[in-house]
């Protein structure tokens, strides 16, 4: 049985405080993947802002072809369908907008004040709040609590026009036990904060934050208006990182994102490299974060 029994299309709709996102919610007990379902619905004409939510996924998908562990009754799995008018090369930044919204939604669902400047901590210190691991993982105490998978389709035969963007989000909310390969890397909100969080409220709080940040993003078609906030919530900020670039691995100190969401890394010789998320991943020097 679910730990929060007020979960489903009605409970989510009742919690939603948005203007246009989530006016249309399609809730499934079981799907292969909310991103795959969202693709079908977007192609059939689902409007921008439609949310596809599932109680469990039989083929949950992660980035780089990985599987997303998606047990029943424990977590949040959803995909937001957007049909934006901006150029396709801007779409990857939406992942960072969503990461920011997820962290803000988590803070709100845990009834916390907005955290804008938690002091930069030592990697070994426990954090009171989840943070962003660039570009789009949410981590808490060095373990992953959320992943985001953004996929885009462009219009057939029309150059430079987006058909739809699908932002899929998986959040470990109650899950206590993970498969052996994830046991040391994953955690859940309940494990870290020691309290039960309503999944409906969490989803509604994330969507409210996303709507606000999306407006700021759309206005500039960049992350210029969001990067300060993003960098305040960035676990990598001011920490040593190892950049796993296919052209060669290197180390440096991460100083935050730029207007287009690249991670700025200062090297030992004082020069700065801007790292593009599509090509590389970043690790802390002592492990995942
Ligand atoms: C990652 O960190 O690798 C991204 C994980 C994204 C998982 C979510 S769960 C909801 C949506 N549907 C999917 O199949 N994947 C995303």
Report how far ligand 1's centroid is from the alpha carbon of 182 (Å): 15
Which residue, judged by its Cα, is nearest atom 2 of ligand 1? 147
Reading the chain (289 residues) residue by residue, the pLDDT tens digits are 455 557 999 999 999 999 999 999 999 999 999 999 999 999 999 999 999 999 999 999 999 899 999 999 999 999 999 999 999 999 999 999 999 999 999 999 987 544 444 444 455 566 778 999 998 899 999 899 999 999 999 987 777 899 999 999 999 999 999 999 999 999 999 999 988 899 999 999 999 999 999 999 999 999 999 999 999 999 988 888 888 877 788 889 999 999 999 999 999 999 999 988 765 667 664 455 5
The pLDDT assigned to 43 comes to: 96
Tokens of 98: 């969503």
Q: Is 61 in the pocket of ligand 1 (CB under 6 A)?
A: yes
Q: Mind listing the pLDDT tens digit for each residue in 212-226?
A: 999 999 999 999 999
Which residue, judged by its Cα, is nearest atom 3 of ligand 1? 62
Which residue, judged by its Cα, is nearest atom 9 of ligand 1? 170
Q: Is 135 in the pocket of ligand 1 (CB under 6 A)?
A: no
Q: Mind listing the pLDDT tens digit for each residue in 116-151?
A: 444 444 555 667 789 999 988 999 998 999 999 999
């Amino acid at each position: 049985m679910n730990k929060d029994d007020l979960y489903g299309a009605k409970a989510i709709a009742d919690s939603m405080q948005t203007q246009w996102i989530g006016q249309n919610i399609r809730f499934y007990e079981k799907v292969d993947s909310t991103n795959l379902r969202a693709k079908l619905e977007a192609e059939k004409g689902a409007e921008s802002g439609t949310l596809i939510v599932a109680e469990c996924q039989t083929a949950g998908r992660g980035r780089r072809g990985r599987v997303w562990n998606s047990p029943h009754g424990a977590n949040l799995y959803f995909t937001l369908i957007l049909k934006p008018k901006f150029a396709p090369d801007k779409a990857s930044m939406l992942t960072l907008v969503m990461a920011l919204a997820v962290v803000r939604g988590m803070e709100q669902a845990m009834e916390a004040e907005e955290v804008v400047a938690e002091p930069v901590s030592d990697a070994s210190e426990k954090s009171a709040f989840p943070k962003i691991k660039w570009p789009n993982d949410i981590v808490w105490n060095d373990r992953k609590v959320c992943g985001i998978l953004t996929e885009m389709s462009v219009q057939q035969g029309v150059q430079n026009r987006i058909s739809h963007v699908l932002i899929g989000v998986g959040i470990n909310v109650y899950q206590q036990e993970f498969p052996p390969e994830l046991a040391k890397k994953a955690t859940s909100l309940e494990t870290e904060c020691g309290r039960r969080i309503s999944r409906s409220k969490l989803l509604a709080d994330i969507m409210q934050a996303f709507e606000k940040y999306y407006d700021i993003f759309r206005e500039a078609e960049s992350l210029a208006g969001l990067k300060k906030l993003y960098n305040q919530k960035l676990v990598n900020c001011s920490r040593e990182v190892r950049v796993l670039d296919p052209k060669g691995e290197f180390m440096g100190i991460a100083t935050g994102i730029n207007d287009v969401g690249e991670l700025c890394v200062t090297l030992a010789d004082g020069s700065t490299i801007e790292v593009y998320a599509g090509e590389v991943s970043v690790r802390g020097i002592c492990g995942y974060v």
